[in-house]
Amino acid sequence: MQKEIYYPNPEFAKDARINSMEQYHQLMDEAKRDYEGYWKKFADEKIEWYKPYSKVLDESNAPFYKWFTDGKLNVSNQCIDRHLEKRGDQTAILFEGDRGDVEHISYKELSERVNRFANLLKEKFGIKKGDRVVLYMPMIPEAAYAMLACARIGAIHSIVFGGFSAEALKDRIIDAEAKLVITADGAYRKGKPYLLKPVVDQALSDGVDSVEAVLVVQRNREEINWVEGRDHNYNELIESFSTKCEPEMMDSEDPLFLLYTSGSTGKPKGVQHSTAGYILWAQMTMEWVFDLREGDVFWCTADIGWITGHTYIVYGPLAAGTTTVMFEGVVTYPDAGRAWKMIEQHGITQFYTAPTAIRLLHKMGADEPKKYDLSKVRVLGTVGEPIDPPAWKWYYEVVGRGKASIVDTWWQTETGGHMISPLPGATPIKPGSATFPLPGIMAEVIECDGSPTPVGEKGFLCITKPWPSMIRTIWGDPERFKKSYFGDCKKYGKPVYFSGDGAMVDEEGYITITGRTDDVINVSGHRIGTAEIESAIKKIDRVAVSAVVGKPHNIKGEGIFAYIVLKDANDDKEAIKEEINAVLKQEIGAIALCDEIVFVPDVPKTRSGKIMRRLLRSIAKGEPITQDTSTLEDPTVVDEIQKIVKEG
Ligand code: WT7
């Protein structure tokens, strides 16, 4: 299948940081020739070290790799202090509230606020290096101050997305043994105030021993419950703390943050990131993939509760010294023109969002972008799921006016930063393909035995060499870290990182991501484990068995499709549907609600009792069954389920 190829706009490419495929190959060859030397060059050039490192990469305890051994640095220094002389008055964070309120926070102001915040954490709450601090925050600048304040004093932050429920928040607080929770009364969304603090109250109501205090930022000043002695008002406290706080000398390998993500079992994994390797790659990818230049205004629409928000709203842009936009609201409110209006108003030069948002904006107003001046936009990014060709085309032609480069960036919570992506001034693009690994990243599509997958066939997407910003471990569970990502290391002669995604390589080396190969589904670019959903549904007594699969959805990418077997087939199905969604909302959050629920007499199982999810996925999609069903415990169940699904 020959796909259309789009070449970089020559006018733009001539000044790009990486402006040809020759330059790309040169960098890649360098990395292949001398891997450590390649990374050393960038680590020396990009990072302000307090004390130089002694070794670039230590593989002696693989897969627990260490980068830049014994080096000392501080991420808040990298993101703030070192810019002050040159960029003190430049806007660091450009905040736009849901209701259109705008605030420019300069690097100098950012420095004062982060230093104050760091002193508050240290002096008021006794937070020390290595302590865990959970953030349950809306998209307001204080969230970024809190992250950087933690980094400044060496505390490990763990951000829980504001859409997660009290139960999910509680699990994450307990797993991290957090000492402090930082939250807000609430914020604004679609013109209305909403609340976060009550969720924190509920999460802490029972069975959490580690939390000593809750720090509350006032955003909407709605009435909230107050626990005397435990709760503290940020706005009242902050001004009394000094604007100078010496950054802690952090080791390259000290953890910078934890971020929980879904895996194939019920319990979310606390992905642990490092200090030096993470910030280096955050900065490098920021510069390369978005072709960052002086005066740029960069907008990533993610939430800081996801890795995209960590790396491309806060750490990457600030380490690179650019202006980063932080938006409290949603891009479809008050209308389909909000995003385009913001791009025009703030002179945004790079816009980074998810395919699900692109599809929605396209559907809501295909011609809407034409009403605004989007001429400053040079790079348009996508992340989170494969982008379908119609969405790609609209993004390219209407939003980018055929001039901006589209970068389809493939990466994961675990990779810390982009791994496979076009370089906007160099890579000829085939829509739907994330194209090539970034310089220095050794991505390959392989078979179970480690041999390369033939061209045009689906294989496992793996990273065959460690990279600086990779996950270091799963918090409190190093065994699970090894098992989840490195399989049986011996088989390949060396540990190889398995991403959990399938991919295909074409004859020219273009990589196309085909989706997860494990039991994880991708809803609107967010990862949810089917096991997590099933274990929540299990709490309903009247359900005998549940099996959850992903089904293609025209806006969300994938929707959640649940097969339910009732203990009593005559039970009230509508009531149970409601109960299922209520339990999912309570245990996980609104992102886990089912799009479709079907009641079936049984689910297909192998003779050893394993649910055949592959079959269930095919049935949900309405695909003909090509798999061999003869090994099933009861093959007739397949026809029955197919009939039920077809009849809706
Ligand atoms: C999973 C990672 C990394 C930021 C957002 C999600 C899917 C991510 C792409 C892309 C196709 C993609 C993968 C991956 N994914 N980017 N450009 N094309 N699929 O982070 O929650 O850790 O999810 O998102 O399946 O494994 P995450």
The reply to whether 205 and 297 lie within a common domain is yes
Residue 614 Cα to ligand 1 midpoint, Å, equals: 21
Q: Looking at residue 1, what is its pLDDT?
A: 43
Q: Looking at residue 488, what is its pLDDT?
A: 66
Query: For the segment 63-87, what is each residue's pLDDT rounded down to a tens digit?
Result: 999 999 999 999 999 999 999 999 9
Q: Is the CB of 352 under 6 A from ligand 1?
A: no
Q: Looking at residue 396, what is its pLDDT?
A: 98
Give Cα 452 distance to the centre of its chain. 28
H or E stretch at 338: helix 338-346
Query: For the segment 416-447, what is each residue's pLDDT rounded down to a tens digit?
Result: 999 999 999 999 999 999 999 999 999 999 99
Q: How many domains does the chain have?
A: 3
Determine contact, residues 405/422, Cβ cutoff 8 Å: yes
- Band (489; pLDDT cuts 50, 70, 90): low
- Band (278; pLDDT cuts 50, 70, 90): very high
Nearest atom, ligand 1, residue 413 CA: 22
Residue 198 has pLDDT above 70, yes or no: yes
Residue 167 has pLDDT above 90, yes or no: yes
Query: Which residue, of 482, 516, 550, is where some domain finishes?
Result: 516
What SS3 string covers 71-139? CEECHHHHHCHHHHHHHCCCEEEEEECCCCCEEEEEHHHHHHHHHHHHHHHHHHHCCCCCCEEEEECCC
Residue 546 lies in a domain: yes
Residue 540 lies in a domain: yes
Q: What is the DSSP string of 298-329?
A: EEE-S-TTSHHHIIIIIIHHHHTT-EEEEESS
pLDDT > 90: percent of the chain: 91
Q: Is the CB of 498 under 6 A from ligand 1?
A: no
> The domain spanning residue 108 has which CATH number?
3.40.50.12780
Residue 354 Cα to ligand 1 midpoint, Å, equals: 10
- How much is the mean pLDDT over the chain? 96
The reply to whether 464 and 558 lie within a common domain is no
C-alpha angle 72/468/49, rounded to 5°?
Answer: 20
Distance in angstroms (rounded) separating the CA atoms of residues 75 and 318: 10
The reply to whether 500 and 555 lie within a common domain is no
Residue 640 Cα to ligand 1 midpoint, Å, equals: 35
Q: Looking at residue 3, what is its pLDDT?
A: 67
- What average pLDDT does the segment 489-494 reach? 71
Q: Is the CB of 408 under 6 A from ligand 1?
A: yes
Nearest atom, ligand 1, residue 414 CA: 22
- Band (627; pLDDT cuts 50, 70, 90): confident
What SS3 string covers 466-486? CCCCCCCEECCCHHHHHHHHH
> Could you tell me whether strands 269-274 and 473-474 are parallel, antiparallel, or unpaired per DSSP bridges?
antiparallel
Residue 406 has pLDDT above 60, yes or no: yes
Residue 155 lies in a domain: yes
Residue 291 lies in a domain: yes
Task: Read off the pTM.
Answer: 0.96
Residue 471 has pLDDT above 70, yes or no: yes
Helix (H, G, I), strand (E, B) or coil at 275: coil
Which of the two residues, 451 and 111, has the higher pLDDT score? 111
Q: Is the CB of 303 under 6 A from ligand 1?
A: no
Distance in angstroms (rounded) separating the CA atoms of residues 550 and 386: 14
The reply to whether 509 and 535 lie within a common domain is no
Query: Which residue, of 516, 537, 552, is where some domain finishes?
Result: 516
Residue 3 DSSP class: P
- Taken in order 6, 9, 12, 17, the sign of the CA dihedral is positive
Q: Looking at residue 625, what is its pLDDT?
A: 86
Specify burial of residue 490 (Cβ count, 10 A radius: 0-12, 13-18, 19+): exposed
Pocket mutation for ligand 1, best pick of 300, 409, 410 (most atoms within 8 Å of C-beta): 410
- Band (608; pLDDT cuts 50, 70, 90): confident
Q: Is the CB of 618 under 6 A from ligand 1?
A: no
Distance in angstroms (rounded) separating the CA atoms of residues 436 and 244: 44
Residue 565 structure tokens: 């077997």
- What average pLDDT does the segment 618-626 reach? 90
The reply to whether 301 and 449 lie within a common domain is no
Number of neighbouring beta carbons within 10 Å of residue 586: 15
Q: Looking at residue 490, what is its pLDDT?
A: 65
Distance in angstroms (rounded) separating the CA atoms of residues 560 and 562: 7
- What average pLDDT does the segment 490-499 reach? 84
Name the residue range of residue 615's domain: 520-647
Residue 417 Cα to ligand 1 midpoint, Å, equals: 11
The reply to whether 476 and 594 lie within a common domain is no
